[in-house]
Structure 1
Amino acid sequence: MNELTIVAGGRHDFMTVRHLVLRGDQTTIGHALAEEARSSAGWVPANIDPLRNRARWTWFERNWPEHYARMSGAATAFGLDPETDNVCLDGMPTLPDGSGCSAVWCPPVLAADGQGRVARNYDLFTEPGAASRPYVITMYPDNGLASTALTMSELDGCTEGINEAGLTVTLLLTGLGSTSRPTAPPAPQAGLNITQVPRFLLDTCENVDQAKQALLGAKQYDEGVPCHYLIADASGQAFVWERGAHDSEHIIEATGGPLCVTNHQLHEYPDVQDLPEDTPETFLTYQRARALAKETAGRLSAGSLRAALDAAAMSAVPEQPWRTLWRTVFDPAVRTMTSRFYLGDADNGSARYSPEVTFEVAK
């Protein structure tokens, strides 16, 4: 039985956060996602070039059968033949028509309680509607890995999540200040767009080694905004995945200490001591990286890891139209995701947040 609840915010707040729990086979789950996108955002599948779309569905069928089955379910929600080539059945929005981030991997060896954790700030501009209707989506497929994921704008993708094996994936904007950003091709393409990468890994991988192989073997493309990804597992392993100029691919390993990520390419600046000063175009990516490195020195408790993220959060400054919209802490060992959400600015100028909400993923 599917469930939909509001877990944070409401009509008088900047944000309303919904938790959608889905059960059944992947086709049934895809049908339910399409129904939610239609009822909440008025979504209908868009027309697309049939040749390009056939290449996309062939890639999904071969490399990501879970997504292929869910999109087949989306077709049935609109009374369409799943083999139809001229409509795009993914990219389901959470908003009707009309950034930066920070993250830290704390390995078990540096954790006060011996449990590795990932913590992240999701920072974005606060123009009306841009991220005001996020969804937490928990999937319990009959076959495959259960997962809980948080998405800003597309029900079939996500910005971060954790699966029942303890694999966690976090997406962050990258390339700020870089001169070697990959050129964005026309979209959609065959392969994975930036928000499909986390969902793909959550569906298909149980640990860091599997995730590395999956990423090296997957066709990927950017849609104007390149991203990199912090990936960790329940065994205490972690790495960052980046794509650079000329289709280069980079795996930045955690080397025993915290792995801090903001919005510049780590393969270009592997040492935080070598970071340049920020410019108006870099949105404090270097300042936040230095703050995280300072705040995560030494052993970290769950509380001090949260405090480190708060030290790198975007302040509620009226002339800066962006905020830390949510902070998420993952506990891979116990398969939980704990988040708090931005609700608006208080009268005293500080940001208002919801209480933390913990989401479990165990079947």
Structure 2
Amino acid sequence: MKNMTHVAGGKDDFQTVTHLTLTGSQHEIGKALTEEARRLGWSPVPADPIVNRARRTWFERHWPQHHARMDGAAAALGLDPDQDALALDGLNFVPEGSGCSALWVPPSAAEDGHGRIGRNYDFFPMTASEIMGQAPRPNELPMASRPYVITTIPDEGLSSTVITMSDLDGCMDGVNSAGLAVVLLVADFENAAPPESAGPQVGLGNVQLPRFLVDTCENADQAKQALLGAKHYDHGVALHYLVADAYGQAFVWERGRDGSEHVIEFGDGPLCVTNHLLHRHRDPMNLPKDTETSFTSYGRLRTLYEQSKGVTMTPGDLRDSLSAVAQPEDPQLPFRTLWSTVVDTAERTLSTRFYLGDGRGYSEELVFSATER
């Protein structure tokens, strides 16, 4: 079953937000997602047949939920699910230069005992063509102007609610019915580089990775094992991920410039993340000065740490911390905070405010549950 509602923004606002709720088998969910993507102008991309066959095999073994949804995509497209010429899922490309800030407040530091992630999603308010240095195409909309909130309630397994900017089979923020929450952020802003290849590879694309976790994991320990055992690849700038669960555990997962994998934990205390590699700068009080290419990553992390260390925080305090590091409405700056989310791992909810445009502020706070049936 498919239910689609408009939840924020209007014709004169920067963002128009859609909440899409899908129930049924993973095959049916994949078919419905593909039909919606086609309505928005998506079509499958050609793929190397050898790579594509290996991708399907990897998904079948390690992410069967996604594999079943790809079979649903084939049904929507009238294709043989075993064909090798076309990739039946999204490209999951994040252009160079997006930012973001996030703060995990564990249950022990929360006034009501609920662990929460607060995050700002910072991105260009521009079209994909403009981001790539070209003139916008006729009628081309800004890349982040039509975000989706997607709730999936499969017949079997974990239900979830996610927010995605432009890929219906990936996500930027997510929480599942077990209380596992994931948000993604740029990992190494100062060393970002264009992708060498835009084609799909075997394993998890960087925007698929959070979706993989909310589909397959119930707690932080399971997520660590899933990430360390998975194949994954980046398109464009590398990302890292803040993962937290309903039991009060949290970590940041990132890869080093040499491909090494790192799980960063800060014990039973707040965990702050912005846009530099934490395994290279573990001490939040001993960070480098920001440069023209660091996008104030170090300063934003210092602010989050100073506002959260040694204090008990309410949801309002967490919102105030996010506001302190939000992007200003400055015409000289290329970024805006396009949404601001608080994930409550105890309640299994996403509470989000969406950007409506300079001078228009944000939508009212909207609450989405991962457990409603």
Query: TM-score by structure 2 length?
Result: 0.92
Q: Which runs of 5+ in 2 are unaligned?
A: 128-141
Question: SS at 2:190's partner residue?
Answer: coil
1:22 alignment partner in structure 2? 22
Question: Is the Cα contact below 8 Å between 1:193 and 1:220 reproduced in 2?
Answer: yes
Cα deviation, residue 48, structure 1: 1.2
Counterpart residue number, 1:44? 43
Question: How far did 1:176 drift?
Answer: 1.9
Distance (Å, rounded) in 2 between the aligned partners of 1:48 and 1:289: 40
The match for 2:333 is 320
In the alignment, the residues of structure 1 paired with residue 196 and residue 315 of structure 2 have an alpha-carbon distance, to the nearest angstrom, of: 38
Which residue number corresponds to residue 87 of structure 1? 86
Task: Report deviation, 1:32.
Answer: 0.2
Residue 122 (structure 1) aligns with = 121
- What runs of 5+ residues in structure 1 fail to find an aligned partner? none
Could you tell me how far 1:178 is from its partner in structure 2? 5.0
For structure 1, which segment, 232-241 or 288-297, has the greater mean C-alpha deviation from structure 2 after superposition?
288-297
Equivalent of 1:339, from 352, 355, 363? 352
Q: In 1, distance between residues paired with 2:291 and 2:204?
A: 31
1:136 equivalent to 2:149? Answer yes
Q: 2:268 aligns with which of 256, 268, 282?
A: 256
Deviating 4+ runs (over 4 angstroms): 181-186
CA shift digits 1:120-170 (9 cap, x unpaired)? 000011114120011000000001100000001100000110000000000
Contact 2:354 2:363 in 1 (8 A): yes
Q: State the Cα distance separating 1:44 from its structure 2 match.
A: 1.5
Alignment of 1:1-363 (within 5 A): 1-39=1-39, 41-91=40-90, 99-128=98-127, 129-178=142-191, 187-297=199-309, 298-346=311-359, 352-362=361-371, 363=373
Rounded Cα–Cα distance in structure 2 between residues aligned with 1:183 and 1:75: 28
Give the match's secondary structure for 2:367. Answer: strand
- 1:186 is displaced (CA, Å) by 5.6
Question: 1:245: how far off?
Answer: 2.3
Q: Distance in 2 between matches of 1:26 and 1:36?
A: 15
Amino acid at match of 1:90: D
CA deviations on 1:20-48 (whole Å, 9 max, x unpaired) are: 00000000000000000011x21111211
Whole-Å separation in 2 of the counterparts to 1:115 and 1:283: 31
The one-letter code sitting in structure 2 at the alignment partner of 1:174 is A
Indicate the SS of the match to 2:34.
Answer: helix
Which moves more between the two structures, 279-288 or 183-192?
183-192
**Cα deviation per residue 1:196-230 (whole Å; 9 max; x = unaligned)?**
10000000000000000000000011111100000
- How far apart are 1:295 and its partner, in Å? 1.4
Query: In the superposition, relative to structure 1, how do residues 93 and 10 fare at CA in structure 2: closer, same or farther (>3 Å)?
Result: farther
User: What SS is found at the alignment partner of 1:100?
Assistant: coil
Q: Residue type matched to 2:301 in 1?
A: A
Q: Give the deviation of 1:90 after TM superposition.
A: 0.5
Partner Cα separation in structure 2 for residue 30 and residue 77 of structure 1:
8
Native 8 Å contact 2:47 2:199 kept in 1 = no
Cα RMSD (Å) of the superposition?
1.7
Checking the alignment, whether the CA contact within 8 Å between 1:278 and 1:286 is kept in structure 2 is yes
Instruction: Report how far residue 183 of structure 1 moved.
Output: 8.1
| Aligned counterparts of 1:164 and 1:64: Cα–Cα separation in 2 | 18
Aligned partner letter, 2:57: T
1:184 Cα offset (Å) = 5.8
Aligned residues of 1:118 and 1:331 also touching (Cα < 8 A)? yes
Question: C-alpha displacement at 1:254, in angstroms?
Answer: 2.9
Which residue number corresponds to residue 139 of structure 2?
A: none
Distance across 2 between alignment mates of 1:295 and 1:239: 19
Aligned residues with identical type, % of pairs: 57
C-alpha distance in 1 between matches for 2:308 and 2:197 = 38
CA distance in 1, matches of 2:232, 2:13: 36
TM-score (norm 1): 0.94
Q: Tell me the matched-pair count.
A: 353
Provide the rounded CA distance (Å) in 1 between the counterparts of 2:168 and 2:197.
23
Partner SS, residue 227 of structure 2: helix
